[in-house]
Amino acid sequence: MLPTIQELETWARHTGGQAAQFLFRIALAILIYLIIRKILKKFCSWLDKRLTKFNMDESLKSFIVSITKYGTLIFAIITIIVKLQIVEASSIAALLASAGIGISLALQGGLSNFSGGILLLFLKPFRAGDYIIVASEGYEGTVKKIEMYYTTLYTVDNKLVMIPNSNLTNNAVVNVTARPKRKLEVSVGVSYNTDLEQAKDILNALLDQDERVDDEDRSVYVDSLNDSSITIAFRAWVNTEDYWPTKWDMNERIKIAFDEAGIEIPYPQMDVHIKKK
């Protein structure tokens, strides 16, 4: 039997009322979410300033702000959905229980990155401001911040690189600036006709002239005898921030000083002697 017009009107009113209520709940949920997000943004900004005031480590500070922000948002979304009865709490629990394995597999990488971030903050192999080399990723740069899932680097050419935390905890990381001083080693090849004592005196004089070089525990030596040259070198301590400027300056000064002294820096060559019968 076909429904009457009155029955259709009753069904439409009932269904339309439910749809209107549902749409109202959705709109209200979005409004509440936007308000919470705006308040949370201001709170995180205030929290960042307070942690800075207490001289907290930059890496730990960014991690705390990050976990506060995302943890609060996730909790707020679930609470809004349940309180406005958009989805029943029992349905959410059943959904999470039935999809537990899938969620755990999907979040495996995220959880490993999260745990990696915690390890980085507690073990502190590096901090914000340190210059690190991550050979496995092919990147190096200055650490900007350590967040829940990623560590942000700024490279020397000002590129922004975000590396998953798990990649940093599972691979070797070289912290270039961990120590206040670095051992600078510069070597140069000279001709076999060179007066080695003269060449070593020149290197010692260059070291004496540079105030960035530590006077203690430095040495000038003959490093190796090669096919077409003799390698002489020096080792000396410099402050970490002066390592590269000192190395570049020394390379230039050595070339100029050797040219003035008439000391040849040979290129690879081979002498051929022809014997006539």
Residue 167 sits in the same domain as residue 202: no
Residue with tokens 């943890």: 71
Measured distance CA(232)–CA(229) in Å, rounded: 10
87 assigned to some structural domain? yes
Residue 239 sits in the same domain as residue 198: yes
157 assigned to some structural domain? yes
**pLDDT attached to residue 263:** 92
244 assigned to some structural domain? yes
- Residue span of the structural domain in which 221 resides: 181-261
148 assigned to some structural domain? yes
Residue 124 sits in the same domain as residue 59: no
Residue 131: alpha-carbon gap to chain centroid: 9
**pLDDT attached to residue 209:** 92
Domain boundary among 59, 74, 98: 98
**pLDDT attached to residue 268:** 72
**Number of helices (H), then strands (E), in the chain:** 8, 8
Residue 230 sits in the same domain as residue 255: yes
pTM given for the model: 0.58
User: Which positions of the chain have pLDDT values less than 50?
Assistant: 103
User: In the structure encoding, which two tokens stand for residue 262, read together?
Assistant: 């008439």
